[in-house]
Structure 1
């Protein structure tokens, strides 16, 4: 295969009448999805978007999924914009992207026009009314090759300029083949989609479904604030597979919602995006002892994932989970600062090679050269690796352990500290729901933010004193009513840093 939509072609032939994409507004079959994609592809192709970027200014609904696939049908590549983000950040993204076309809907047309882009704007409703031109679409498909871009996802940049990670068709095809085979995804799978479509984890939901005929059910964001309603939604829509960030799973844990709610028919529970607190895992496993649980790890620059660990034993509440082994078609290297292979068991930077790698950063050649660089361990021919900036090591079982970010280590009292180690030590304390540790550099102090019952500081201080050296002890413990979360559902550490400044 060379084009993502070949997956759709095959699925329509096999499972055309089965449900494909659903949200709170309704459900489409695979045949209906294919029809919509052909109409959208024809409409967008009129704007000559082949090999050019198309920006999608749409909500987290099925309509956005159709626009994503319609862009591919027109020969272009897409970027999903977050309609809830401040317009200034959206403009920074579009300024980097320079889209040839903006697709929105009637509900967001005024906000889209206010962005002030110089490209044409197309409303989805009008594009869906176009008669498909099958000859045009077939011609565009025949001209495609597997190194064409499929999409560009923007991540935060340290300079304030978002970085657009450019992913090719071949990376998605390789990744979806791995994810479907590894986790037994098939036409009976029903994904409960949590992550936004501008976040790399959604790639697994969408393209694994496209490959296998699985159903993708988009969960309304508001339900994650109401765990009982969330679980009822999963049950009503017969969701059996989750791929969520741990903070989303943690919302159910904090309310103990599985204790008094009819359990959805879950059989596969995957998680990634941030460290999974083992108390969260243990709570879910206690209620789903027969389900497959897996810890997935990887940056957007490797399509979504480069390593994984299928949970095969019990873990103590304060025991960190491994990030496991390399995915198929991914090679993992652990390198020292001077580019040599790290000694067995030693900590080094995780570097990735193989089919999952992004093409680079869109319109950022210098940044691309910095992170996508020649493999120093391969002197005989040119091979690109991606430097993740993540620190890892192999344990005695040959499993990767995540040790933190190379750029997230702090120096306190003369020692280098990984803040995640403090968080791991805190988990397991009875009554603790979530926590995050930050370094307040101006005051040279460690601050542990947490949610849970009152008075926990009196229990946390001696607990951490037993598990960590003195230089890793938080100076300040601050209880919050709720842990702030960003648009992706992860802990919002920028908001916590702002709270540090308020003290």
Structure 2
């Protein structure tokens, strides 16, 4: 019986122990060696935390073989991994750690100095100081511990933007990842021979899914170095060199590749599955990819982090005009998606409303944050007979005449930008309350240009470069506004509050 993801990995090791599991530049590791090192690391973890299970353990490493060993080692220890972005300002990392209170942080020589300034040294493990070849482990002890882990126990925590400046830690379990993985395999007929071009950062749920595919099928993960992001042609050359057959990317880089016409310069004959999610893929650039890779299957997926990976999908099997939005399709297996109007009634065809989700794909809530959990995960208003939790996404959508779900936008200040989910109010909170750069301001997202614009009240203009420099000490790069716009007075509604909707109408003027 499959009760956790390591059941997948154990079966794969028996079947293909010497197959390459991960390619990281010139370095590779087999499935057997990956598991051996992860089990040894789990023993080190166990020694440090005295057998504690079902608790978060943080990983503060760049994306390499060592970070994958760390994540799997944490799972072997019976705990949940929480990958942290090494590029995130240390103040934000500190906020995350204070909220989540991980039992340990796994890092290396490169980052140990940064962490010891903000976290107790006894709760930090420097893997560069551990010689795993000298560590012994007991398989029976590992088995005893894993027998206590069931499918609804936490697998990982993924941090997402929070309106108060403190990210929320979304708790995702083994069952929801296994459900999605099995659905993916059957829907797209993914084989045991896939080679995955892994571009997503460790903090993305897509990376965790790639980990699942590796463990479940014995697929090989090819790590795309982060430094190649500025050189899309080199990314394609790497895919070509390693015969990558499957990618699951945020569209941003795919749009750049289309705009630069790079698929005419680098052929990808092995690429058969192209999945994308995280933000809207402009149809014109999507059509470029589809024409260039005529033998590939393209799937558009949708879902906030509170739903494990994604909850809807659209297999692009019909022609779409350049000005026609790509549908987000239909619900994935074992998931129900429905659209509610302002009266919490089901919307009719072409009627816009809020997209809601129910099913085992739902996250378990926000770690150490019952108030935020209660606000987002609520009783299904369509069901008065028994407890049934749904997640209200805050996204506006409709169902068209073809029974396809069409994404229309956000109902509040939550956006998707460069694949990251961002609370615009968090940007405002940091600029106004934390840094006190201005007294009043409002962040607005320009969906056409995919840029964050910050409007602020001031008699004197403030240098955009100086604003970015100061904000960059607190917020990650992807949350720093692209444009700063000074207004003598921000528009207000009848209640005296900043009129965000009026600013949205101005967004194309700047």
Q: Deviations over 1:265-319 (max 9, x none)?
A: 2111110011001121111111101100010100111111000001011222221
Is 2:76 aligned against 1:73? yes
1:336–1:13 distance in 2 versus 1, CA, 3 Å:
same
5 Å-filtered alignment, 1:402-413, equals 402-408=407-413
CA distance in 2, matches of 1:39, 1:286: 48
Aligned to 1:128: 132
Preserved CA contact (<8 Å) 2:58 2:105? yes
Comparing 267-276 with 179-188, which one deviates more in the overlay? 179-188
CA distance in 2, matches of 1:363, 1:337: 30
Cα offset for 1:381? Answer: 1.4
CA distance in 1, matches of 2:453, 2:267: 41
CA distance in 2, matches of 1:409, 1:155: 11
SS of the residue 1:40 aligns to: helix
Is 2:96 aligned against 1:82? no
Is 2:11 aligned against 1:10? yes
Preserved CA contact (<8 Å) 2:349 2:401? no
Aligned to 2:402: 397
1:347–1:205 distance in 2 versus 1, CA, 3 Å:
same
1:50–1:12 distance in 2 versus 1, CA, 3 Å:
same
CA distance in 1, matches of 2:53, 2:108: 22
Cα offset for 1:212? Answer: 1.1
Aligned to 2:232: 227
Q: Deviations over 1:84-143 (max 9, x none)?
A: 111101101111110111111223222222233465211224163421221211110111
Higher relative contact order (CA 8 A, sep 6+): 2
1:135–1:377 distance in 2 versus 1, CA, 3 Å:
same
Is 2:485 aligned against 1:500? yes
Cα offset for 1:344? Answer: 3.0
> Which TM-score applies when normalising by structure 1?
0.83
Cα offset for 1:77? Answer: 0.9
Aligned to 1:106: 109
Preserved CA contact (<8 Å) 2:454 2:484? no
Preserved CA contact (<8 Å) 1:36 1:128? yes
SS of the residue 1:495 aligns to: coil
Aligned to 2:450: 436
SS of the residue 1:178 aligns to: helix
SS of the residue 1:499 aligns to: strand
Aligned to 2:94: 91
Is 2:39 aligned against 1:53? no
SS of the residue 2:321 aligns to: coil
SS of the residue 2:8 aligns to: helix
Aligned length: 438
Cα offset for 1:439? Answer: 6.7
CA distance in 1, matches of 2:41, 2:269: 35
Preserved CA contact (<8 Å) 1:186 1:213? no
Comparing 42-51 with 326-335, which one deviates more in the overlay? 42-51
Preserved CA contact (<8 Å) 1:390 1:404? yes
Q: Deviations over 1:345-385 (max 9, x none)?
A: 21111111111111000011011001101111112211110
Q: Deviations over 1:432-471 (max 9, x none)?
A: xxx236676669xxxxxxxxxxxxxxxxxxxxxxxxxxxx
Preserved CA contact (<8 Å) 2:232 2:253? no
Cα offset for 1:180? Answer: 1.9
Q: Deviations over 1:307-344 (max 9, x none)?
A: 00010112222211000000001111211233222233
Q: Deviations over 1:24-61 (max 9, x none)?
A: 14111111111112111111111233121111111111
SS of the residue 1:301 aligns to: coil
5 Å-filtered alignment, 1:5-404, equals 5-46=6-47, 47-48=49-50, 49-117=52-120, 120-125=123-128, 126=130, 128-129=132-133, 130-263=135-268, 265-404=270-409
SS of the residue 1:333 aligns to: strand
CA distance in 2, matches of 1:27, 1:74: 24
CA distance in 1, matches of 2:477, 2:124: 34
Aligned to 1:451: none
Cα offset for 1:400? Answer: 0.1
Which runs of no fewer than 5 residues in structure 1 stay unpaired? 411-417, 424-434, 444-485
SS of the residue 2:74 aligns to: helix
CA distance in 2, matches of 1:119, 1:52: 17
> Which TM-score applies when normalising by structure 2?
0.82
